[in-house]
Amino acid sequence: SQKIEQNSEALNIQEGKTATLTCNYTNYSPAYLQWYRQDPGRGPVFLLLIRENEKEKRKERLKVTFDTTLKQSLFHITASQPADSATYLCALDLGGNNRLAFGKGNQVVVIP
Amino acid sequence: DTAVSQTPKYLVTQMGNDKSIKCEQNLGHDTMYWYKQDSKKFLKIMFSYNNKELIINETVPNRFSPKSPDKAHLNLHINSLELGDSAVYFCASSPRGGNQPQHFGDGTRLSIL
């Protein structure tokens, strides 16, 4: 069956360190993958998109990698700040019509 | 200026009732979506419209009926509400085509008593 797995345990990290989140998937062949941020009581906010032929994408302090052999994406927040505390969702392209399948999300707590 | 707005933000109602949720986007996007986020936090696509035409219709009970009067609006009507319908419903929009980021509203929290 198709699965998208993100760590269910919250990641507690000291301010200034790098947070690394993992998104693993099985029985999907996404042409691209997206990462979103969700704050409590709010809708997801788009952060980054990476295509299957791209190894890495960066935006300010964020970096995403995409390994189609390992079926895995890593999401990094460098120099983390308390304002980065949120839940981060990965979303896989299901092919056609911009259909996305979302992971359950991984909470990050940045400790001052 | 709110990009994707949903009303109401909270909806509490009795089982068996019929209710509607409205969504409007001012981003000029062609495509709009409805998602359901259940208590386990999974966000699942329900429907998508492209310029008023239904293009995604996932396995959703036919008690749920979307309606798009124009490309800036996508409403969701739910008949005969059941306990399992309790969830947060998100509207989203994007430019037409694949590889597009989606812009979400802040959700409508539906609670069935």
Question: Distance from B15 to chain A by nearest Cα, in Å?
Answer: 24
pLDDT for res A87: 97
Closest among A11, A4, A61 to A34, alpha carbons compared: A4
Of the listed ranges A70-74, B29-33, B41-45, the one predicted with least confidence: B41-45
SS3 breakdown of chain B: % helix, strand, coil, rounded to 5? 5, 55, 40
Largest separation between any pair of C-alpha atoms in chain B = 40
pLDDT > 70? residue B39: yes
Contact predicate B78/B66, CB 8 Å: no
pLDDT > 90? residue B36: yes
Tell me: the pLDDT tens digits for A40-66? 999 999 999 999 999 899 999 999 999
Q: What is the mean pLDDT of residues B101-109?
A: 97
The token duo for B70 is: 């124009």
SS3 breakdown of chain A: % helix, strand, coil, rounded to 5? 5, 55, 40
Residue A82, SS3? Answer: helix
Residues 6+ apart with CB under 8 A from B21: B6, B7, B8, B11, B75, B76, B78, B89, B91, B108, B110
Which residues on chain A are in Cβ contact (under 8 Å) with B43?
Answer: 44, 89, 102
Query: Please, which pLDDT band fits residue A85 given cuts at 50, 70 and 90?
Result: very high
Contact predicate B57/B74, CB 8 Å: no
- B19-49 burial, b for 16+ CB within 10 Å, e for fewer? bebbbbbeeebbbbbbbbbeeebbbbbbbbb
**CB–CB contact A98 B97 (8 Å):** yes
Interface test with A, best of B102, B103, B108, B109 (most A CBs within 10 A): B102
Return phi, psi of residue A42, to 5°.
Answer: -125, 165
**CB–CB contact B45 A49 (8 Å):** no
